[in-house]
Chain A
């Protein structure tokens, strides 16, 4: 595709519900990142997929958070039993190779937990 696509753009959910956020990376990009950004803050690393390697899950804040990347392409970030502190913009990025290349970002999903 033309760029990294994230859906939905906005999601409002009730506390305690599960949500799934989707990321379609640029075709052929082997690396895929998920970040979380609270209002006015920096980007908090969540998880990193690189090719067929085991993902780096070291940034996931709790076991309520999980992510998959199917067939080396589309990725889904799942948040179970959402809490109000999960409210943030969730950003996905992909890059074409292992080192020394720029990351291309989607426009993010703004999650609001009420």
Chain B
């Protein structure tokens, strides 16, 4: 089964609005990462947050991590049409060979 569950499954917004995606996971982690996927092919790494961090920023991206609730959120501010993609969280598991397990993803559509 998937380690991570994301919501919403799909999100449609207008350019300039903020987009928030949430990820919940089940077991203890070393870190949590967010990836972006265009057109159903290769994924691109966006940001990594370690288990001892609570918030991290990168450009228009803001990620939070709450290990007590086993959840994370990705905020994209001032969205652009080019942000249209699927976004996935991935957890590096702490006790199980530190492999990366991906969530179910959020499909973001940004309308110009």
Interface string of B86-105 (1 = CB under 8 A from A): 00101010001111111111
Q: Assess whether B97 is in contact with A50, with CB atoms less than 8 Å apart.
A: yes
A48 at the binding interface (Cβ < 8 Å): yes
Contacts of B50 in A (CB 8 A): 100
Q: How many residues of A contact B (CB 8 A)?
A: 28
Q: Which B residues contact A (CB, under 8 angstroms)?
A: 2, 30-31, 33, 35, 40-45, 48, 50, 88, 90, 92, 96-105
Give 9 CB contacts A-B under 8 Å. Answer: A33-B100, A35-B102, A39-B40, A42-B88, A93-B43, A101-B48, A104-B45, A106-B42, A107-B42
Q: Which A residues contact B (CB, under 8 angstroms)?
A: 4, 33, 35, 37, 39, 41-43, 45, 48, 50, 53, 56, 89, 91, 93, 95, 98-108
